[in-house]
Amino acid sequence: MLDALTPAEWHALTLSLRVSIWATLVSLPLGILTAHALARWDFRGKQVLNGLVHLPLILPPVVTGYLLLLTFGRRGYVGQLLDQWFGIVFAFHWTGAALAAGVMAFPLMVRAIRMAIEAVDTRLEDAAATLGAARPWVFLTVTLPLILPGILAGAILAFAKAMGEFGATITFVSNIPGQTQTLPSAIYAYLQVPGGDVQAFRLVIVAIVVAMAALWLSEWVSRAVARRIAG
């Protein structure tokens, strides 16, 4: 199947993997911090933060992409500063695809990690704190090892969501072959031309294989980590 892919299709596949990996890795630390804050901290505006985190799940992806374009585009408030000060460009660039994918996948990541944190017995954390351990050290030595399966599950969910992201990505970075055309965008492009059904179906099979491989890997790693923690 992979041998039959054209160079353009190979680029769409590798770009999707690149975008998904970067979106997952960059958002993971923030996802852990946000999940811990929502699960353990009491502060003013907690419900507002929870709403903002889950907003991409409620809004149409096109709206999310448009908001990203207004914010991180070359003329956006943040995008203009990043371009002038650091030379970082998001709009119509593969980094923008990673940003859009990360934003859309972030709620799933936070939800999985938050559920794992809430499942940890707080008495274990309190016991470590009463022995003199600082809260950050309690999290690193007690909480973090116990929630590793949840972190892995959240990361895999985010990766899978990023691989399939289409609406926000195509709105924010367009569908430029060889630059911003991811696997879903390539499938959409093939479906718009006569006779493109064969190429689209081939990429659909590739997408299914990648998704199943990610699912199998997540199950294997989660079980391995759970056995190690139990041991």
DSSP output for 146-215:
HTHHHHHHHHHHHHHHHHH--HHHHHHH---TTTT--HHHHHHHHHTSTT-HHHHHHHHHHHHHHHHHHH
Q: How far apart are CA 117 and CA 25, in angstroms?
A: 19
Residue 229 pLDDT = 59
pTM given for the model? 0.87
Q: How many domains does the chain have?
A: 1
Q: Give yes or no for residue 1 having a pLDDT over 70.
A: no
CA distances from 143 to 28, 119, 201 (A): 16, 10, 44
- 183-214 confidence digits (pLDDT tens): 999 999 999 888 888 888 989 998 888 888 87
Q: Tell me: pLDDT of 230 over 80.
A: no
Report, as an integer, the average pLDDT of 4-30.
91
CATH number of the domain at 142, please: 1.10.3720.10
The 10s digit of each residue's pLDDT in 148-178 is 888 988 898 899 899 989 999 999 998 888 8
Angle, vertex CA 199, rays to CA 218 and CA 161, nearest 5: 30
Contacts of 161 (CB under 8 A, 6+ apart): 101, 104, 105, 108
Segments forming the whole domain that contains residue 195: 2-230
Question: Residues of 46-56 as b/e, b for ≥16 C-beta within 10 angstroms?
Answer: eeeebeebeeb
Four-CA torsion 32, 36, 39, 41, nearest 10 degrees: -150
**CA proximity to 27, closest of 107, 141, 136:** 107
Token pair listed for 53: 């985190």
